[in-house]
Structure 1
């Protein structure tokens, strides 16, 4: 393992999940816009933002070459589909006061990602990581039982995003080109939908203040930035590590749901999430030991 690359992956991954954790604040700001329209705008402005970065980094020729490759188009259909499901579910849930349930979904997600890493990449866990996974799994199960029903929002978010991460790890093109393809594939029907609702007077124009256009345009930056960081991190870290650092995002969202959005959260819910935090503590300590041992090795 290259320690510099590993450390870069950790930093990029942690930053991406911190940004994702605070994202509910943004969706609440634009909640006056219909969730389906938010989703369509998110795709469209993300694509424009990514294309701008491609132009600034002078990678336009590489992107055009991939555009003429049918295999590249095919390889990004599935990731585009799963990230679309994730985005749409997440936006709808946040704007309908299910932030804590989305948090549970993202707590479930690492467990699925770690399972995929074990099955498809034969990634092994050390003792501390096994203890961490055990506590985290117990917390997720307890929280699921406390709901008293099948948490469909949580399951949709967890399965869609973990599958997206797994598929992204298998793609061969660079992160920027990959995100451009994903937003292009989803963006084609998205722009058609935006034009339709605007022409039929059901969109932003004429129904909301003009500054909502400026707010919704920034969704491209809010979407593309953490996704690019996440994709770069995936290239540098094993899935089992990505699985654990993803707990940062739902922890932030959980705190927002409790203290910023005043969603219900009782002592039993606290107990369930406490188990997850204990598991995260085991994992964090294992990472400290791993990095310390790697630095001690002679070059």
Structure 2
């Protein structure tokens, strides 16, 4: 029994370390984005893309997983799907960078809090998945929180909603790519690299680029966009393969919680009573959703235990 469970325990421990590192790095990302706040979001995103390519490519070569990528490059359908997922993640990155720069980090944290609930709703609408009672309650509470923020602001909390829906759509479509997470990420940034390079070249020729020798601080920050983008995504991909879905479901709240704390206590963004009430509804929804995940995982484990076994 010990020899059978030891490899599984080691895999779970490695998976936890990978996933935790990814979410922790995502949680710290607002600090880098805030430091880049004086640079237009489109330029920052272009650098995120360009400097992610060599990192993701080096990881693929080191792991010896280039064969799947070569097959994907020969498949028009795979390339089209990768272009679509790349489009969604670009929208997500661009809005996130802009929101941090203009002092709306609290709204970004809300977007990533409600993302799993949006994914549940999308599964019900697009795939006909049946929601449990707990999931229905969780989605309803999230909708109530959005309604509360809408009334308070006089309009929809569009930053939070676009971030949540763009990432949910990315995750939904990403599952259709017939390649692994590291190969898929490299394919996405490879597709985006050409327009990003053209844009950066245009900035350079017009004198509008912030990537200049006269500004070494900007160069260092923009170069850091590569590892800050690629490393967490790659770590997450490795961790997700080794962990149960329920564990990943619990860990996904690490990043938005860190973003929320940084927004309120480091960036000093306003957080009044209405926002507190809305976040309380979201946190209650996530607690119910988490409970449903754990209960479902427990039932699945019990179902796998045959009568008479120990």
Question: Which residue number in structure 1 is paired with residue 119 of structure 2?
Answer: 113
Q: Please list, as runs of the form range in 1=range in 2, the aligned pairs for 1:49-198 lying within 5 A after superposition.
A: 49-198=55-204
- Stretch deviating more after TM superposition (127-136 or 91-100): 127-136
How far off is 1:78 after superposition? 0.9
Question: Which residue number in structure 2 is paired with residue 298 of structure 1?
Answer: 305
Is the 1:131–1:279 contact (alpha carbons within 8 Å) kept by the matching residues of 2?
yes
Between the aligned partners of 2:186 and 2:163, the Cα distance in structure 1 is 22
Name the count of aligned residue pairs. Answer: 296
Between the aligned partners of 1:20 and 1:194, the Cα distance in structure 2 is 25
Between the aligned partners of 1:101 and 1:286, the Cα distance in structure 2 is 26
The correspondence for 2:231, drawn from 208, 225, 233, is 225
Between the aligned partners of 1:215 and 1:188, the Cα distance in structure 2 is 21
Between the aligned partners of 1:90 and 1:143, the Cα distance in structure 2 is 19
Is the 1:83–1:160 contact (alpha carbons within 8 Å) kept by the matching residues of 2?
yes
Query: What do the CA deviations read for 1:120-154 (whole angstroms, capped 9, x no partner)?
Result: 44444444444333333322332232222233322
- Stretch deviating more after TM superposition (19-28 or 136-145): 136-145
Give the TM-score normalised by the residue count of structure 2. 0.81
How far off is 1:216 after superposition? 1.7
Is the 1:113–1:240 contact (alpha carbons within 8 Å) kept by the matching residues of 2?
no
Closer, same or farther: CA 87–252 of 1 in aligned 2, 3 Å = same
How far off is 1:174 after superposition? 1.1
Between the aligned partners of 1:294 and 1:128, the Cα distance in structure 2 is 17
Is the 1:89–1:153 contact (alpha carbons within 8 Å) kept by the matching residues of 2?
yes
Query: What do the CA deviations read for 1:94-123 (whole angstroms, capped 9, x no partner)?
Result: 111111122233234333211122234444
Aligned-pair RMSD on alpha carbons? 3.2
Give the TM-score normalised by the residue count of structure 1. 0.84
Q: 2:45 aligned with 1:39, yes or no? A: yes
Question: Which residue number in structure 1 is paired with residue 5 of structure 2?
Answer: none
